[in-house]
Homo-oligomer: A and B are copies of this chain.
Amino acid sequence: MKNEILKYLSKYTVITKELENAISESTFIKTFRKGSVILKEGGISNECYFIIKGCVRSYFLKDGEEKTIEFYTEEQSVIPANYETFKPSESYLECLEDTIVSVGNPKLEKETFQKYPQLESLSRIIAETIILKQQVSFTEFRTSTPEERYLNMMKARPDLHQRAPQHQIASYLGIKPESLSRIRKRIISKK
């Protein structure tokens, strides 16, 4: 299972025996059942996750409604917003499917980075890559209509449509379920 991480890291660097050791020493596997809540509002989190298999949704409550922050699937990292801060969480983490994750925590992380500085270097590079990718997503979102956002999502992550209910996808797109329903209808009639 753990070689899923190595497979991911191999996109950024050559996997050495050292790196393999670093990963296996600093992470462990956990599995969650569909419907499990990994983190609740108000909860303290001290773990981060790399998704090996499955789907996790983060969301929070605003005006009594669930607002989906992100859907995390295979090869994505979940870092709770309160990771390492010891502050209560404002959001939830929920498994939409049976999910297998690789778990990290600050203590293990710190020790491993000291022992394997190349891993920290790799982490920096990946973090910077994620920043740029996030910025592209954000910009794309900002400059698109709800209809375009839906089409973009279907192109970039078509699997989400099978994995998450439509009202959660709607809130992820920043619109109401009724609007998403109409947008879908409009798209079909255009074809």
Chain A residues packing against B (C-beta within 8 Å)? 60, 62, 67, 69-70, 79, 81, 83, 113, 117, 120-121, 123-124, 127-128, 130-132, 134-139, 141-143, 171-174
Contacts and interface: CB of A to CB of B under 8 A. Distances in A.
24 contacts: A62-B143, A67-B139, A67-B143, A69-B135, A69-B139, A70-B135, A79-B128, A79-B132, A81-B135, A83-B132, A117-B117, A120-B120, A120-B121, A120-B124, A127-B128, A127-B131, A134-B135, A134-B138, A137-B138, A138-B138, A138-B141, A142-B173, A143-B171, A143-B174
Nearest to A130: B131
Grouping DSSP codes into helix (H, G, I), strand (E, B) and loop, the A interface class, with mixed when no group exceeds half, is helix
B136 A134 contact: no
Contact of A134 (B83, B113, B134, B173): B134
B81 A142 contact: no
